[in-house]
Chain A
Amino acid sequence: MSLTTQAPPPVKRHAAPPRRTAGQRWRYAGTVAIFLLPSLVPLTLFTLIPMAGSLWVSLHEWDLLQPMRWVGLANYLELLGEEETRAAFLHTLYFIAGYLPLVYAGGLGLAMLLNRAMKGRNLFRAIYFLPVITSWVVVALMWKWLLNPASGIVNWALGVIGVEGPGWWTDPHWAMPSIILASAWKDLGFVMIILLAGLQAIPGEYHEAARVDGASAWQRFRSITLPLLSPSTFFVVVISLINGFQVFDQVHVMTGGGPGGATQVAVEQVYKMTFEYGRAGAASALSWLLFAVVLMVTLIQVRGQRKWVNYG
């Protein structure tokens, strides 16, 4: 077919609203408002204004009761010098350092096991996902009971094989590992589903070809699976880090930041400063510091993804 006989492309008129009279324009503005306001009004009232409010509060000394006292950036400077702040961030990093490798390795293992046609695959997938739909408070309570130092079943089972179980959440050294264990158990299914979807997007021919060339299972895993899975890995790492920095529910229920402050993570610190220590201003400042850290870490990852994430 020659180019000249082709019909001209249809004119796209929907990009801009057609010319209208003043009355029509008002009606159009009204339509836009009807669609937008049900979302924009609550967003303004319950997110945008509180955001501004939070910045404002962070510049004051305040116990939620007495009038606020302007202190400028003093809260931020004070926080940066405080031992508690450093401890809160260190505990948060400790949580992430334990949680992320565990949940990723476990999730990847499960995903690889299920990435083949097998009987009952959907059932297993549904079972692994069960903790994901369970609320954090339930998971925290179930694990607090399982890991009960004196009468928990885990320590009993350890006793049977001749190991004396630790004090878990009552022991400053074992409290964070207890929280990490419960958290990894809950999120394993989530990570598994994301990685399984990624694995299934890898064309089978790649593995076939490598096998024909005599590549071992490990070589295929290193050179095919991991690189081609990197977009899913990236997603899991970004989400896990964002959630990890904001860990609260399971900590608040399992240890309340204890024993002896051993699991006092950043958001737990914000909560206590606000409602127990009468330092709402400093608490707001701390929440912004945490937000700044999360934002920075996320941006660094987005920037760095070029180096290792393979979008094919």
Chain B
Amino acid sequence: MGKALRYLLVTTGALVMLFPFAWAVITSLTPDGAVLASPPDFTPEGAGLAAYARLLEALPFWRILANSVWIGVVSTALQLITSAMAAYAFARLPFPGRGALFAVYLATLMVPLQVLIVPLFIEMRTFDLTDTYFAVLAPTIASAFGVFLLRQAIQQVPREFDEAAVLDGAGHLRIFVFVVLPLIRPALATFAIFGFMASWNSYLWPLVILRSPEFFTLPLGLAELHGRFTTEWNVVMAGSVVSVVPILILYLFAQKHVIASVAQSGLK
């Protein structure tokens, strides 16, 4: 294939990927009257941030953004801690029934969220926890996927390192924190990226459990916005742009690692 043709195809692909984002930005800057204009106006007169102002009036959007960040960070941190600790137990602490318990973890990996939705909802309602941060976080605290991923990483840490630490009189907690954790940093980073993205994008469970806009996460806030401003696409696109920007910034910094993590997941 010719070099020119290849560049042409690759660039076309890139434009297809970028255009929806660009169009969202343009639409969000379009004044109210001109949004539904046909033919579409690429350089609308009176372009400005009016739609963003209306967005902030309609919903507590800063609060919603902060909720998403807060829930994402806490969820990721909790998953990392609980999964790494359990992974250490499964990799380094023999106990009766360990294999069977690990099989239970693996089995939960296959059970999709929608199977759990009704009982989880009832559980939260029974303890009067609907519409709380805790309810959104609860199903993400333990991660079977994380335990599986990190256990593999810990198993690759040579035993000699732990044994040297034991000779120095270190207990398991110290070995875990000072020997094992630093050595599995790449796996921890991979898992953190997956965990944060899952929390940031999650829609079904927050949709079921949250009612008040002040607890909403971004996907919920956007869906609510769409319900209220059905034809005012400039406001809806303003909300979309606002919710893409934070993850985009994160992506720009961690881009290589994100892509490497995904590529790694397919090579087994």
Chain A positions within 8 Å of B, measured between CB atoms, are: 14-17, 28-29, 31-32, 34-36, 38-43, 45-51, 53-54, 56-57, 64, 110, 113-114, 116, 118, 122, 124-139, 141-146, 148, 150-151, 153, 156, 185, 188-190, 193-198, 201, 231-232, 235-236, 246, 248-249, 252-253, 267, 270-271, 274-275, 280, 283-284, 287-288, 290-291, 294-295, 298
Contacts and interface: CB of A to CB of B under 8 A. Distances in A.
A201 B267 CA distance: 9
Contacts of B86: 35-36, 38-40
Interface in B97-124: 101, 104-105, 108, 110-112, 114-123
Contacts of B255: 126, 129
A283 B7 contact: no
Contact of A287 (B3, B14, B36, B117): B117
A142 B142 contact: no
B37 interface: yes
Contacts of A252: 203, 207, 223
B6 A113 contact: yes
A194 B263 contact: yes
Given A185-B20, A197-B263, A290-B114, A136 B219 contact: yes
Interface size class of B (residues with CB under 8 A): 35 or more
Interface string B223-265: 1001000000100110010011001100100011011001111
A128 B19 CA distance: 12
Nearest to B265: A194
Contacts of B173: 31, 34
Contacts of A284: 115, 118-119
A139 B237 CA distance: 11
Contacts of B172: 31, 35
Given A138-B243, A142-B21, A39 B37 contact: no
Interface string B1-44: 00100110110011011101101100100000001111110000
B185 interface: no
A274 B264 contact: no
B266 A145 contact: no
Interface stretch (B48-56, B57-65, B77-85): B77-85
Contacts of A130: 17-18, 21, 248, 251
A19 B86 CA distance: 23
A113 B6 CA distance: 7
Contacts of B139: 46-47
Given A118-B7, A291-B115, 4 more contacts: A38-B81, A42-B138, A135-B218, A252-B223
18 contacts: A31-B173, A35-B86, A36-B85, A38-B86, A40-B86, A42-B141, A48-B108, A51-B108, A54-B119, A126-B259, A130-B251, A132-B262, A135-B200, A138-B240, A141-B240, A193-B259, A291-B112, A298-B110
Given A118-B7, A135-B203, A197 B119 contact: no
Contacts of A48: 104, 108
Interface of B: 3, 6-7, 9-10, 13-14, 16-18, 20-21, 23-24, 27, 35-40, 81-83, 85-86, 88-89, 93-95, 101, 104-105, 108, 110-112, 114-123, 138-139, 141-144, 147, 159, 162-163, 171-173, 176, 197, 200-201, 203-204, 207-208, 218-219, 222-223, 226, 233, 236-237, 240, 243-244, 247-248, 251, 255-256, 258-259, 262-268
A51 B138 contact: no
Q: Please name the 5 residue pairs, one residue from A and one from B, whose CB atoms are nearest each other, closest first.
A: A53-B119, A194-B266, A39-B86, A197-B263, A50-B119
Contact of B110 (A125, A194, A195, A295): A295
Given A50-B119, A129-B259, A232 B266 contact: yes
Contacts of B268: 231, 235
A249 B200 contact: no
Contacts of B82: 38-39, 42
Contacts of B138: 42, 45-46
Contacts of A248: 114, 203-204
B40 A246 contact: no
Given A53-B122, A141-B240, A283-B118, A32 B203 contact: no
With a 10 A CB-CB cut-off, give which of B17, B207, B240, B243 has the most chain A CB atoms: B17
B162 to A, nearest CB: 8
Contacts of B162: 14
B4 to A, nearest CB: 12
A113 B9 CA distance: 8
Contacts of B89: 32, 35-36
A139 B263 CA distance: 22
A126 B23 CA distance: 19
A54 B115 contact: yes
A124 B9 CA distance: 11
A60 to B, nearest CB: 11
Given A194-B265, A198-B267, A249 B204 contact: yes
Nearest to B139: A46
Nearest to B141: A42
With a 10 A CB-CB cut-off, give which of A41, A118, A127 has the most chain B CB atoms: A127
